[in-house]
Amino acid sequence: MESILTGLRAAAEPTRLRLLALLAQGDLTVTELTHILGQSQPRVSRHLKLMCEAGLLDRFPEGAWAFYRVAAKGAGAALARSLLDLLPEGDPVLGLDRQRLEAVRSARAAKAQDYFTENAGRWDDIRRLHVDDREVEKALVATFAGRAIHDLVDMGTGTGRVLEVLAPHVERGVGIDLSREMLAVARANLERAGLHQCMVRQGDITQLPLPAQSADAVTIHQVLHYATDPAAVVAEAARVLKPGGLLAIVDFAPHQLEALRDEHAHRRLGFADAEVDGWLRAAGLEPGPVTRLPGRPLTVVLWSAVRTRHPLETTNAIGAQA
Residue 51 near residue 10, CB atoms below 8 Å: yes
In this structure, is residue 83 part of a structural domain?
yes
* Cβ density class 211-228: b for 16+ within 10 Å, e for less: eeebbbbbbbbbbbbbbe
Query: Domain check: are 210 and 303 in the same one?
Result: yes
Check whether 84 has a pLDDT greater than 60.
Answer: yes
Q: What is the CATH number of the domain that holds 197?
A: 3.40.50.150
Query: Domain check: are 307 and 217 in the same one?
Result: yes
pLDDT digits (tens, 9 = 90+) for 253-263: 999 888 887 77
Q: What three-state secondary structure class fits 109? A: helix
Angle at 250 between CA 247 and CA 252, to 5 degrees: 145
Query: Domain check: are 11 and 154 in the same one?
Result: no
Could you give the number of structural domains in the chain?
A: 2
Strand order in the sheet with 300-307: 198-202, 170-177, 149-155, 215-221, 241-252, 300-307, 285-293
Query: Domain check: are 50 and 149 in the same one?
Result: no
In this structure, is residue 147 part of a structural domain?
yes
Give this prediction's pTM: 0.78
Query: Domain check: are 179 and 265 in the same one?
Result: yes
Residue 299 near residue 253, CB atoms below 8 Å: yes
Q: Which domain holds residue 88?
A: 2-102
In this structure, is residue 124 part of a structural domain?
no
In this structure, is residue 31 part of a structural domain?
yes
Residues 282, 275: Cα–Cα separation, whole Å: 11
pLDDT digits (tens, 9 = 90+) for 143-162: 999 899 999 999 999 999 99
Residues 197, 167: Cα–Cα separation, whole Å: 8
